Structure formats: structure tokens, C-alpha cells
Amino acid sequence: MADIILEKLEGLQKRFENISDLLSLPETMNDQKKYVQLNKEYRDIEPILEAFNKYKEILSNIKTSKEILSTEKDEEMREMAKMELDELLEQKEKQEEEVKLLLIPKDPEDEKNAIVEIRAGTGGDEAGIFAGDLFRMYLKYCESKGWKTEITNISESSSGGYKEIIFNVRGNGVYGILKYESGVHRVQRVPKTESQGRIHTSAASVAVLPEAEDFDIEIKDEDVRKDTYCSSGPGGQSVNTTYSAIRLTHIPTGIVVTCQDEKSQIKNLKSAMRELRSRLYNIEYQKRMDALSAKRKTMVSTGDRSAKIRTYNYPQGRVTDHRINLTMYNLNNIMNGDIDEIIEKLQIAENAEKLKESAI
């Protein structure tokens, strides 16, 4: 392992011990923001050091095996030591790669919860139906991960699909996984309304935003206009008779957020404020992502929502992710939420680019 990597790991070891001491101080515990930040840094460093300690253990075993080979006279013992050494050298190479990958700087937003927007694009009614299909795909995927979902705004289309649907996702490392879904998703299939059996192409856009924490951004009361109105859509008798829906307008930026999913105005206001905070926070975050996209060949997690990222071809049962030229023939499974393999391959592609950038 290169000296520069060893120096970095030794520095992380010292920082880890320093954070451990800081977390036990009363003044740190009394400062909630500082405590959360230090605790997150502690959890980020811990797996790196665990992998490094495993690497050092392998090196120690390699040294022992080599000593046996240089001193042992018994051929059977030498043969066993040789087999063990070959296995250890293979483990050393794999463990070194794992340590390098763990050293790649992580996006600090990856651990956050996410806000997902799905909007019907070109293709008329079929686009709205496809938006609904994507929504169900993500719901099943989130369910398989044990993540919690909460719809905050929904606009149904006449065809039974959605013009727009916005929902929150909460769980471990949600944004770091779902961020790969941002972009334009295209579907090719024969619509139910098509009598001639012709294949129709339509699209829906997906945007995934990191959900901002309370201390990530401050919103002044005087900068927000709040309007209340009657909710529309499914939800029972009280939906259209009580002013429970909330519309927030951020005056300096013109950003408008609505929430009408809950019957309680207080709950809708809380959800709307959370989304507004995230949208404002995302403006600065997007600038960083745009800077990264200029360096990288693949449009992985760059936040470019206008880019066509994936095609779902029903006649061929095919799904193609255009960012990494990945084609899979298990469309039914994917539409039922089995998208782990796609995301894993996107993560591998992004990590490979990050390794080149960092020259580890």
C-alpha cells in the first residue's frame, strides 16, 4: 500500500481517537448540532479503520507464513505454509482495494433522507400511467429496504396515472442510493388505448433531493408566505370542507411548495416546511453536483434531471441504463422494485471514476 495512503489512514486513526474524546465531553453533549456532526464523522471513519485493521492482520499473517517457509524443514509444513501464503496474498490485494474504496470521499448528503418527485412528461395519458408505474416500483423497492414512505403531494391524471407525485423516504443512507434515479425515464410499449397495436414512446421525470436537516439552512418567517386552501382528491368527506392544505411561497426565490396529504393543517405545514427547506438547500447542492458532472464521463448522481437515463422496453422485456450502457432482460422484476443490481452497477461505475479523480 502506498505511503500516502498509510499516512492518510494514520491521520484518520488520530482523528478517530480525538472525536471519541470530544463526544464524551459535557460541552459537546450540550451542543446538539456539534454532537450530531461529530457522531456522523465518527461513524464514517469507523468502517475505514476496521478494514485497515483487517489489512494489517493479513500483513502480519503473511509475515508469519514467510518466516515458516524460510525456517521450516518439514516439507508438509512448508507446503501448508505455501498454500496459506498464496491465499493471504490474494486476500491482501482484495482488502487493499476495499480500503481504497472506503477512502474515497463520500458525499455528505448520502446519509440523508430523500424527497422524490415523479412528473409525467411527453406522451399524454400514457406518460401519466408510466409515472404511476414508476411510483409503485419505488414504493416496492423502499418496502424491500425497510424504508418509510410518506406522500406529501399528488395530482392524478384522468387516465388513472399521475401528473405529479411527491413523497418522502426515510431510512439509512436513502439519498445515497436513490440519487441515481434522478433523470428522465422513457417507456416503450403498446398503450391500452392503442387499437392498432403500435408501440408508443412516453416519458416521466424523476428528481431525488436530499432532505435538509433543521440546522442545514435557516428560513426567516418574513420570507415565507403561507396560504391555506381545501384539499382535493381522495381522502374522505373532510378533504373538501376543511382548509387543511398548505401552500408556502418563499418570496426571495419564488419557490412554491404545497402539501395536502394530511387532514391536519399542522402536519401539512410541517411537511411543507421540510420540503421548502430541502428545496432551498438543494440549490447550493445542485451547484456542487454540476461542477462534478463537468469532470465525470458518466452522468451518475450529477443531478442532471433533464438527461435521459433509462429506457423500459416492454415488447422486448428490456431495461437499458444509458449512463453505463447496461442492458437487462428482467423488466417485470425491475418494475416490481428489484432495482438493486442497477444501482449497484451505477455505484461501481461512480467509484471507479472517483478513484481516478483522487489518484489513490
Tell me the pLDDT tens digit for each residue of 56-98.
Answer: 999 999 999 999 999 988 899 899 999 999 999 999 999 998 8
Burial degree of 260 (CB within 10 A; 0-12, 13-18, 19+):
buried
Average pLDDT, rounded, for the chain: 86
Stronger pLDDT, 11 or 243, i.e. the higher one: 11
What sign does the dihedral 116-299-8-61 (CA atoms) show? positive
Is pLDDT larger for residue 213 or for residue 22?
22
In tens, the pLDDT along 11-36 reads 999 999 999 999 999 999 999 889 98
C-alpha cell at 262: 394530511
> In percent, how much of the chain has pLDDT > 70?
89
| Residues in contact with 359: Cβ distance below 8 Å, sequence separation at least 6, in sequence order | none
Say how many C-beta atoms besides its own lie within 10 A of residue 288's C-beta.
13
Top mean-pLDDT range of 89-103, 292-306, 308-322: 308-322
For the structural domain made of 114-215+297-358, what CATH number should be given?
Answer: 3.30.70.1660
Answer whether 169's CB lies under 8 Å from 114's CB. Answer: yes
Q: What's the whole-number mean pLDDT along residues 32-54?
A: 91
pLDDT at 235: 46
Kindly tell me if the per-residue pLDDT of 3 is higher than 80. no
Residue 176: the pLDDT is 92
Neighbours of 168 (CB within 10 A): 22
User: Rounded CA gap, 280 and 321, in Å?
Assistant: 30
pLDDT at 237 over 80: no
pLDDT over threshold 90, residue 240:
no
Dihedral sign for Cα atoms in the order 23, 101, 308, 146: negative
- Positive or negative torsion for Cα 170, 176, 177, 181: positive
Window from 55-59, 96-100, 331-335 with minimum mean pLDDT: 96-100
pLDDT computed for residue 62 by the predictor: 95
Is 204:134 a contact under the CB 8 Å cutoff?
A: yes
Domain topology for 221-286: Double Stranded RNA Binding Domain (3.30.160)
Q: Calculate mean pLDDT across residues 222-232.
A: 83
Contact 223, 250 (CB under 8 A): yes
pLDDT at 238 over 70: no
The arrangement of strands across the sheet holding 255-259 comes to: 224-229, 245-250, 255-259
The pLDDT > 90 percentage for the chain reads 52
pLDDT one-digit tens code per residue, 273-282: 888 988 888 8
For residue 325, the model assigns a pLDDT of 94
Confidence class for position 208, pLDDT limits 50, 70, 90: very high
Q: Say whether pLDDT at 195 is over 90.
A: no
229: confidence class by pLDDT, cuts 50, 70, 90: confident
| Average pLDDT score over residue span 227-237 | 63
Quick: pLDDT tens for 137-182: 999 999 999 999 999 888 898 878 899 999 999 999 999 999 999 9
Per-residue pLDDT averaged across 207-214, rounded?
84
| pLDDT of amino acid 215 | 64
Rg of the chain taking only CA atoms, in angstroms: 26
Residue 348 is which amino acid? I
- Helix, strand or coil for residue 56? helix
